Structure 1
Amino acid sequence: MTLLLGARVLDPGAPAGPAAVEIVDGTITRVGPAGAERGDHVVHLDGAVLTPAFVDAHVHATSTGLLVDGLDLTGCPSPRALLDAVRTRAAARPGALVWGHGWQEQDWDGPVPTRAELDRAAAGAPVYLSRIDVHSALVTGDLAGGAPDGPVTADAHHRARRAALDAVDGPVRDAAQRAFLADAAAHGIGVVHECAGPDISSRADLAALLAADGPDVVGYWGEAVATADDARDLLAATGAHGLAGDLFVDGSIGSRTAALCAPYSDAPGCTGNRYLDLDAVAAHLAACTAAGIQAGFHVIGDAAAALLVDALRRTPPGRVRHRVEHLEMVDAAQIAVLAGHGVVASVQPLFDACWGGEDGMYAERLGPRARAMNPFAALHAAGVELALGSDSPVTPVGPWEAVRAAVAHRTPGSGLTTAQALAAHTVGGHRAAGDTDPLAGRIVPGAPASYALWDGAVGDGRVGTCLRTVQRGRVLHDTLR
């Protein structure tokens, strides 16, 4: 038996306060006032904060882990700096794949590098550098597949990413996945939802991740099917939990590939990309519903949201709750349909923190339409279950940063309370994966011992470092030993 004494417990369904937590055989057996308890292992916490282990409801493990030894271009100030970084890496490892991520061009003092410039900097090495949103990339000619000069987007980007990942061998991939899972555990995360698929990774990549040690992995495979038998066969072939995640209906605002009803404010005539039509979305929903398999889609633009809602109206009710990723541009009538169908929304609050507001990238791309983006409060009020995540590597893994961003939404009235955000990043993540256990994500008697300990106060949503992460009794991260 383990006793945790002197912690301030933050449970999504109860008032915060100091408590003693008793754990036996991986299950919480008591939460209450401290007394004269005895146990095999007593941990005196002196006011540390105890929360449920967090669930990151949208990640890309390998792509994130590759950045441990790749080029982190977040904050890269100019095209010249990007080329210098590629040149230095290519010189250090002649011929090896240069994998990088995170560049954003809107504040640069010049155009993005040409393919010829990138080829020269790489000196013959293949280069894949994803934009911050991972919906376009700068690549060398050997990965471009004949696409026009400039960043590759849409299907050309999907092909380039597959080719780049094919150049990553098994040991490097496994090391990247281990690095990602260890980092997630060190941030208090006990469960991650991997959003895999043929346009993102590979079946081998997903299989390796599902077999890795660390936080629990709920794997999704984003590939459309037309019949219930197809859905069952694909689920069995991939080992996935559901046919959802990044099954792309559209792209992203930053790369101007999110599907819009009216053109982008900074690109007249451009309304983004539509990767699936209404019939394909409706067929996938119907097939998965009939098979009892969770379906889901990547939806960002308002035209994509309208398409999903139209498909839901065609879909008879089933016994599973489907999910939608991102859902950044959605109106009240559409929210009502989503709520009525029990759809879970997997959302990323740091998107708003990074690109929202009157002077952010969303306003630049969309004008006044940006003010209505990411309406977390309206979704919650309508009864749509929310699950928070990072979409790592798009934004960093960091549950408290996501909680704070959800609360401090850059559009007044669109944010959540701290309690709501905490619930969405714990209980909501379990609900998003179809877990109906009412105790999942809670610190209550009878719940699995899945918790994280933190060394700071949380009155304003801020904590220090994670001291320990435990998932179903398994210690994933520990600094207290």
Structure 2
Amino acid sequence: MSRTLLTGLRLPGRPGPVAIETEAGRVTWTGGAEEVRERSAARVEELDGVLLTSPFVDAHVHATASGLLLDGLDLTRCASAAEVLAAVAEAAGAAPPSAVVWGHGWEEDRWSGPLPTRAELDRAAVGRAVYLSRIDVHSALVSTALVDRAPDAVGSAGWSPAGPLSADAHHHVRRAALAALDPAQRRSAQRAFLDHAAARGVAEVHECAGPEVSGRADLADLLGSGHGVHVVGYWGEAVDTPQAAHTLRGETGAHGLAGDLFVDGSLGSRTAALHTPYLDAPDCTGNRYLDPDALAAHLTACTRAGIQAGFHVIGEAAVEDAVAALEEAARRTSPGAVRAARHRLEHLEMVDAGQAARLAALGAVASVQPLFDAAWGGPDGMYAARLGPDRARGMNPFRALAGAGVALAFGSDSPVTPLDPWAAVRAATAHRTPSSSVDEGTALAAHTAGGRYAAGGSGTPVPVTGGPASYALWDGTQCLRTVREGRILHGTGGGPEE
């Protein structure tokens, strides 16, 4: 197979041009401009000033929901109930009667008026089933026709006869909405999302699936897509024995039993578990979906099975439960076994310095989303509205986590925030609480090597000699090419890599 030599490249934070040589999907040489003259290759590309990085890893995505949004009902720009209802009416008019009108992204905190009622949604939908997830995907506005497809939602936790559904009621209607997708529609949405990821320099995504998020058929389709973007699947369902852990992983094809295994919900929907009430809901401290015994049992079973485990945790009470469960699992097994498993905590937004040190001691990975701070941080953001400015300042403390030695893996939680890795890097370096920001090198590492580490691998923020020929080429933040193990996923370059 022929060798390819790319010259004139820049590396992040380093002076002077560099070159990289690849062959058979591996990096065979890297060096400076002076050494290039000594190399010969079948194909040479002069890339004057183009930036070279490892491809990005998005450590937390929901592929089908993200793909549906790419050409679907995007409500993120709606500023009122009237705009949401108009968008639904237009979409319903174009949809087959049996289809679910699927939308995402409404955020009432940015509105001046009330949410639409179910009756108003029914009128706009002219009898069609409608599922509209809030920006955090922890609650949804739904039509009566969708509730009719999910009768268990009625009267369950989080039920409302007229307003948005959260908690168990939301999980029931979401499952019904997903069940209405035919396989071709689902696979098309997944492929569209993976193409979108590759076009943004992302060559690996971690799908956070589960019975309350997507479903086994959805995960199976994604893992079997054959797309060049590598999919690491996580399945969020608790077990209590090593045999159950092995069985469940085998049945789902998941890499680990982690991801969106919910300990609590979200701050936006007021379902994140807090020690003290929400500022704007004084009688509410959020939801706990798993008790401490179940958390410890799951971590212990997975540790003994040699399987990565983990949870979705956001609120301070949920974080403490998860940290204590990791410590209990270490007592039941051993600290070394827990460290070796690299158990993951998704989001980990309300974590203090003491908890960070405890997590570092047990080798936990923090799978975090910098664009959460960009969207909802600051003195006037959603965090401050829910918690008050003092409590909100402690949200998403990336610098404290990194300083304590906790491994960071950056992601988007797409479709909650956009899959845009350079925007995430900027958000981490320009945190709305400056003392929580990290430098660009740390941020870039968290979005590249950190993601691979989170899934049990290793790597560096830039390609190295002897490693896989996996890289991204950039003109500013525009991705020119994404390559994984020699295969071009996005862009062109004088012929396919071998």
Report the TM range for the smaller structure's normalisation.
over 0.9
Which residue does the alignment assign to 1:197? 210
Query: Taking every aligned residue pair, what percent have the same amino acid on both sides?
Result: 64
Q: Secondary structure at the match of 2:302?
A: helix
Q: Secondary structure at the match of 1:9?
A: coil
- Cα distance, 1:38 vs structure 2: 2.5
Moved over 4 A (4+): none
CA distance in 1, matches of 2:16, 2:194: 30
- Cα distance, 1:128 vs structure 2: 0.5
CA contact (8 A) 1:143 1:164 kept: yes
CA contact (8 A) 1:440 1:448 kept: no
Q: Secondary structure at the match of 1:179?
A: helix
Q: Secondary structure at the match of 2:393?
A: helix
The residue correspondences of 1:260-409 to structure 2 (distance < 5 A) are 260-316=274-330, 317=335, 318=337, 319-367=340-388, 368-409=390-431
Whichever residue aligns with residue 454 of structure 1, its letter is: W
TM-score normalised by structure 2 residue count? 0.92
Which residue does the alignment assign to 1:460? none
Which residue does the alignment assign to 2:95? 93
- Kindly indicate whether residue 133 of structure 2 is the aligned counterpart of residue 134 of structure 1: no
- Cα distance, 1:312 vs structure 2: 1.4
Which residue does the alignment assign to 2:186? 173
- Cα distance, 1:440 vs structure 2: 5.3
Pick aligned residue for 2:438 from 396, 399, 416: 416
Q: Deviations over 1:88-136 (max 9, x none)?
A: 1111224121111011001322211111111111011110000000000
Whichever residue aligns with residue 51 of structure 1, its letter is: T
- Cα distance, 1:82 vs structure 2: 0.3
Q: Secondary structure at the match of 2:238?
A: coil
- Kindly indicate whether residue 86 of structure 2 is the aligned counterpart of residue 84 of structure 1: yes
- Kindly indicate whether residue 228 of structure 2 is the aligned counterpart of residue 214 of structure 1: yes
Q: Secondary structure at the match of 1:298?
A: strand
Q: CA RMSD in A?
A: 1.2
Whichever residue aligns with residue 32 of structure 1, its letter is: G
CA contact (8 A) 1:206 1:219 kept: yes
Q: Unpaired segments of 5 or more residues in structure 1?
A: 457-462
Which residue does the alignment assign to 1:234? 248
CA distance in 2, matches of 1:105, 1:155: 21
Q: Deviations over 1:262-303 (max 9, x none)?
A: 000000010001000000000000000000000000000000
Q: Deviations over 1:307-344 (max 9, x none)?
A: 01111121122131101000000111111110000000
Pick aligned residue for 1:159 from 159, 164, 172: 172
CA contact (8 A) 2:445 2:460 kept: no
- Cα distance, 1:142 vs structure 2: 2.9
Count of paired positions: 469
CA contact (8 A) 1:52 1:443 kept: yes
Q: Secondary structure at the match of 2:418?
A: coil
Q: Deviations over 1:383-406 (max 9, x none)?
A: 000000000000001110000000
CA contact (8 A) 1:430 1:441 kept: no
Deviates more, 1:401-410 or 1:31-40: 31-40
CA distance in 2, matches of 1:313, 1:241: 23
CA distance in 2, matches of 1:50, 1:16: 13
- Cα distance, 1:214 vs structure 2: 2.7
Q: Deviations over 1:403-433 (max 9, x none)?
A: 0000000002101100000000011001100
Whichever residue aligns with residue 143 of structure 1, its letter is: L
The residue correspondences of 1:60-71 to structure 2 (distance < 5 A) are 60-71=62-73
CA contact (8 A) 1:89 1:98 kept: yes
- Kindly indicate whether residue 451 of structure 2 is the aligned counterpart of residue 452 of structure 1: no
CA contact (8 A) 1:441 1:450 kept: no
Whichever residue aligns with residue 249 of structure 2, its letter is: L
- Cα distance, 1:153 vs structure 2: 0.1
CA distance in 1, matches of 2:362, 2:472: 33
Whichever residue aligns with residue 117 of structure 1, its letter is: E
Which residue does the alignment assign to 1:72? 74
Q: Secondary structure at the match of 2:434?
A: coil
Which residue does the alignment assign to 2:54? 52
Change (3 A) 1:114 1:239: same
CA distance in 2, matches of 1:227, 1:15: 49
Which residue does the alignment assign to 1:150? 163
CA contact (8 A) 2:190 2:222 kept: yes
CA contact (8 A) 1:50 1:451 kept: yes
Change (3 A) 1:84 1:377: same
Whichever residue aligns with residue 66 of structure 1, its letter is: L
CA contact (8 A) 1:295 1:323 kept: yes
- Cα distance, 1:472 vs structure 2: 1.1
- Cα distance, 1:479 vs structure 2: 4.0
- Kindly indicate whether residue 273 of structure 2 is the aligned counterpart of residue 259 of structure 1: yes
